[in-house]
Structure 1
Amino acid sequence: METVNVLTRPRYVRSVRLLHWWMALLIVAAYVLVEFHGEFPKGSAPRNAMMQGHYWAGITIFLLVWWRLSARARGGTPPIVPPLDRYSALLAKLTHLALYAFFIVMPVLGCLTAAYEGKQVLIPFTQIALPVPVAVDKDFGHQLEDIHGTIGTLFYWVIGLHVLAALWHHLFKRDNVLERML
């Protein structure tokens, strides 16, 4: 197998690309599940299933982000051609740092919210709940839920910025930003 120098490779390594798109799908799923669970009555099986799906989408994102960070560290970052100006490069780096923080912080906040509110996170297709490491404190749980929701809403905008920037680079700047992830 031929080794390609990271400085000349046009795309991220396969594992990084796959993890990027799997995580994107999971983020969409988490948002859809939480936004539409309220369409069902409290305590109903569909509402509970949607919340369990939301919990597991978040937990899966939390697990995958560590694999993605490791794969990205091993695989390197292919260069953007033509290179970004200094301001755009800084904005891109800050946006990516914010996204990675989001992938870590949101699932932790979500799990803590569920735990403090006394909600069970069931192992899929079972009635076995994950252990709860804290005592129920519904008031604190509601505060965490508010923070979790506020960050989630903020990240609609950050994720939107990320998508629009990729499209801007592809359609108008005509650089390889998007192509590196395809």
Structure 2
Amino acid sequence: MAILIVLAYALILSRTQLARGSDARTFVVQTHFWVGIVVLVMAFFRIAERHRHTPPGITPPLEGVLRLAATLSHYALYAFLFAQPLLGLFTVLLERGALPIPLTSLSIPAPFDLSKDTAETLEHYHVLLGTIFYYVIGLHVIAAIWHHFVRKDNTVKRMV
């Protein structure tokens, strides 16, 4: 899933290198959208799998503030995995009134109709959350490195 998240970021950042209205830019933006949808679907499966099979504990176990920080960071990551794709989905539905299907002229019509202002607001939050998540990802990576090299526990093994 991490690779898909990196891909989604790379795609949306690369769009600025392409001419507005070009087929290449449209393809990149649509691919970004559908990668986000795949992340959303995978997040549901990830939660279901986590409920079916409890992951092994961290050895040695976390205590106090470290345990709280780990719990909060997990909730933040899962919140992102759901909120970010949903904001993107609703933004596209409200802006275009349909979901374009890549490499075709087909689209899936939106089940509801709301104003463009609502779409702009959702897009604003989608971009804002994406920016905030850079920092959450960075903290996640720093924490993984700290766990592996300083604390010398099995956190990285659990993640992989």
Shared fold (TM-score, shorter chain, > 0.5) = yes
Residues 105 and 178 of structure 1, relative CA distance in 2, 3 Å threshold? same
How far the C-alpha of 1:120 sits from its partner, in A, is: 4.8
Indicate the residue corresponding to 2:49 in structure 1.
Answer: 71
Q: Distance in 2 between matches of 1:59 and 1:88?
A: 32
Q: Alignment partner for residue 116 of structure 2, among 138, 151, 174?
A: 138
Query: What are structure 2's unaligned runs of at least 5 residues?
Result: none
Find the aligned partners of 1:41 and 1:135 in 2 and give their Cα distance. Answer: 29
Counterpart position of 1:167 = 145
Aligned to 1:59: 37
Quick one: percent identity of the two aligned structures? 42
Native 8 Å contact 1:115 1:136 kept in 2: no
How many residues were matched structurally? 160
What is the SS of the residue equivalent to 1:178?
helix
Quick one: which amino acid aligns to residue 45 of structure 1?
A: D
1:123, distance to aligned residue in structure 2 (A): 2.7
- Give the TM-score of the pair, scaled to structure 2: 0.93
Q: 2:2 aligns with which of 24, 41, 46?
A: 24
* 8 A Cα contact 1:52 1:121, kept in partner: no
Q: How does 1:9-158 map to 2 (within 5 A)?
A: 23-118=1-96, 120-135=98-113, 137-158=115-136
> Deviation digits for residues 126-179 of structure 1, max 9, x if unmatched?
322122123252222111111110011001101111111111100111111001
Question: Normalized against structure 1, the TM-score is what?
Answer: 0.83
Superposition deviation, residue 104 in structure 1? 0.8
Does the CA-based 8 Å contact 2:97-2:110 persist in structure 1? Answer: no
Q: CA RMSD in A?
A: 1.4
Partner AA of 1:61 in structure 2: V
Q: Tell me, yes or no, if the aligned pair for 1:80 and 1:175 is still in contact at 8 Å.
A: yes
Write the deviation string for residues 19-68 of structure 1: whole angstroms up to 9, x where unpaired. xxxx1011101111111112111110110011111100110011011111
* SS at 1:81 equivalent: coil
RCO (CA 8 Å, sep 6+): is it higher in 1 or 2?
1
Point out the structure with the larger helix share: 2
Asked if the contact 2:97–2:113 (Cα under 8 Å) also holds between the matched residues in 1, the reply is: no
Code of the aligned partner of 1:101: A
Farther-moved stretch of structure 1 (141-150 vs 112-121): 112-121
